[in-house]
Homo-oligomer: A and B are copies of this chain.
Amino acid sequence: MPELVSDFALPPRFAAASIEDLLSGGRKLRRVFYEKALRYAGRDAPLARIGRAEPTVLRVVSGFAYRSCLVADGRRAILDVLLPGDFAGLDHIFLARPGEEITAANRVGYNELPSGEFRQLLADPQIGLYVMALMAETRWRGDRIAASLGRLDAMTRICVLLLDIHDRLRRRNLINRPTFNLPLTQEQIADHLGLTLVHVNRTLRRLREQKLVIVDRQVVIIMELEKLRSLAQGLPQPAELPDVDAPLQRLAPTVPWGGGAK
């Protein structure tokens, strides 16, 4: 049997056997969260704090947030960026106290469920399956930035980050052009990509000069989508979770870009 040479390029697919259960699990879970009040957190406000009382599971409805930690010498590492539709605190199923810090990057709307209540939902295997898929997706993202941090240079890392956020927003129908709002400071980008603020700035300038991506203020415009994609080749790819939210109204991010016209 001959080797399939270029099969690595194919994006991972979900096994047919699980898709049905997955989708209904996702719908059930969505329903539960929607019953909860919509809470808001202002910029830089914590959604979860290490060691605090009762941990909760939360779902971001609007805005960006990030998980982070502080290492020994006071530097910060941003482990993951949370977009509208993302869940966070799933490991609070097990933990008596939050083990990570979650912070709002801009004004974030979210729903929250006490972890005890969430744990009871898992009695339903379909919900359980969906939660596992969410956890798997988080891991894929984690693998992806780990590989980026370890093996890509600053320029490529930034491209991959922007590409990933684009794809995630696109898949959720939050955008429909290669342009979006990125409410992260250059310092936060640096902390996420293992760089310094200064070097992020320089690299963004070079990206602009090369007309690959334009990042001005918080507006990102991807000029060469396919070129970015080729830079990300070989990195772990998340399988695309079937979109549970498809029928919902779209949550377009505000794009301060000439008043939003056209």
Contacts and interface: CB of A to CB of B under 8 A. Distances in A.
B234 A70 contact: yes
A54 B142 CA distance: 24
Interface in A95-143: 95-97, 99-100, 115-116, 119, 122-123, 125, 128-129, 131-133, 135-136, 138-140, 142-143
A162 interface: no
A4 B53 CA distance: 11
A150 B193 contact: yes
Q: Which one of A8, A69, A71, A92 has the greatest number of beta carbons of chain B within 10 Å?
A: A71
A231 B139 CA distance: 25
A13 B233 CA distance: 38
B230 A94 contact: no
A190 to B, nearest CB: 9
Given A79-B147, A122-B129, A146-B145, A235 B93 contact: no
Nearest to A99: B12
Given A7-B50, A15-B95, A132 B139 contact: no
Interface string A130-172: 0111011011101101110111100010000000000000000
Contacts of A95: 12-15, 239
A224 to B, nearest CB: 15
A72 interface: yes
* Most interface-central of A72, A90, A140, A192 (chain B CB within 10 A): A72
A77 interface: yes
Contact of A94 (B14, B70, B193): B14
Given A122-B125, A146-B146, 13 more contacts: A4-B51, A12-B95, A18-B94, A69-B234, A71-B152, A75-B151, A100-B236, A122-B128, A128-B128, A131-B132, A135-B136, A142-B142, A151-B191
B139 A234 contact: no
Among A13, A69, A90, A122, which residue has the most Cβ atoms of chain B within 10 A? A69
Given A146-B149, A235-B71, A239-B94, A51 B10 contact: yes
A135 B146 contact: no
B146 A142 contact: yes
